[in-house]
Structure 1
Amino acid sequence: MSAAPQRMIVGITGATGIQFGIRALEVLREMGVETHLVVSRAGEMTRAYETDMTRDQLHALADHVYPIQDVGAAIASGSFRTMGMLIAPCSVRTLAEVASGVTTTLLTRAADVVLKERRKLVLMVREAPLHARHIRNMLTVTEMGGIIHPPVPAFYTKPETIADLVDHALGRAFDCFDLDMPNMPRWGEEGEAAPSGAAVVRITP
Structure 2
Amino acid sequence: MDRPVPAQRRLVVGISGASGVIYGVRVLQLLRNAGVEAHLVMSKTAEITFAYETALKIADVKAAAHAVHDIDDMAASIASGSFPTGGMIVAPCSIRSMSEIATGVTTTLLTRAADVTLKERRRLVLMVRETPLHGGHLRTMAALSDVGAIIAPPVPAFYAKPESIEEMVDHTVGRMLELFEIDVGSVRRWGEDRDLRARPVKR
User: Which of 192, 195, 201 does residue 193 from structure 1 map onto?
Assistant: 195
User: Which of 25, 30, 48 does residue 28 from structure 2 map onto?
Assistant: 25
> Which residue matches 2:160?
157
**1:5-24 equivalent positions in 2, closer than 5 A:** 5-24=8-27
Q: Is the 8 A contact 2:174 2:186 kept in 1?
A: no
Gap runs ≥5 in structure 2 = none
Aligned residues: 196
> Which residue matches 1:116?
119
Question: What is the SS of the residue equivalent to 2:39?
Answer: strand
> Which residue matches 1:94?
97
Check 1:182–1:133 CA distance in 2 against 1; reply closer, same or farther (3 A cut): same
Deviation at 1:5, TM superposition (A): 4.7
Could you tell me how far apart the structure 2 residues matched to 1:124 and 1:36 are? 17
Q: Is the 8 A contact 1:69 1:106 kept in 2?
A: yes
Q: Is the 8 A contact 1:185 1:192 kept in 2?
A: no
- Identity among equivalent positions (%) equals 53
Could you tell me how far apart the structure 2 residues matched to 1:3 and 1:171 are? 21
Q: Is the 8 A contact 2:175 2:187 kept in 1?
A: no
Could you tell me how far apart the structure 2 residues matched to 1:109 and 1:179 are? 24
Q: Is the 8 A contact 1:4 1:83 kept in 2?
A: yes
1:78 aligns with 2:81: yes
Could you tell me how far apart the structure 2 residues matched to 1:31 and 1:40 are? 25
Aligned-partner residue type, residue 193 of structure 1: D
Question: What is the SS of the residue equivalent to 1:193?
Answer: helix
Aligned-partner residue type, residue 95 of structure 2: V
Aligned-partner residue type, residue 131 of structure 1: H
Instruction: Give CA deviations for 1:134-167 in whole Å, capped at 9, x if unaligned.
Output: 1011001100100000000111111100011101
User: Which of 172, 175, 178 does residue 175 from structure 2 map onto?
Assistant: 172
Could you tell me how far apart the structure 2 residues matched to 1:158 and 1:4 are? 35
Give the structure-1-normalised TM-score. Answer: 0.92
Could you tell me how far apart the structure 2 residues matched to 1:68 and 1:26 are? 20
Could you tell me how far apart the structure 2 residues matched to 1:74 and 1:125 are? 25
Deviation at 1:52, TM superposition (A): 1.2
Moved over 4 A (4+): none
Root mean square deviation of aligned Cα: 1.3
Deviation at 1:194, TM superposition (A): 3.4
Deviation at 1:183, TM superposition (A): 4.0
Could you tell me how far apart the structure 1 residues matched to 2:191 and 2:113 are? 37
User: Which of 118, 129, 135 does residue 126 from structure 1 map onto?
Assistant: 129
1:145 aligns with 2:148: yes
User: Which of 65, 68, 85 does residue 62 from structure 1 map onto?
Assistant: 65
1:38 aligns with 2:50: no
> Which residue matches 1:182?
185
Question: What is the SS of the residue equivalent to 1:147?
Answer: strand
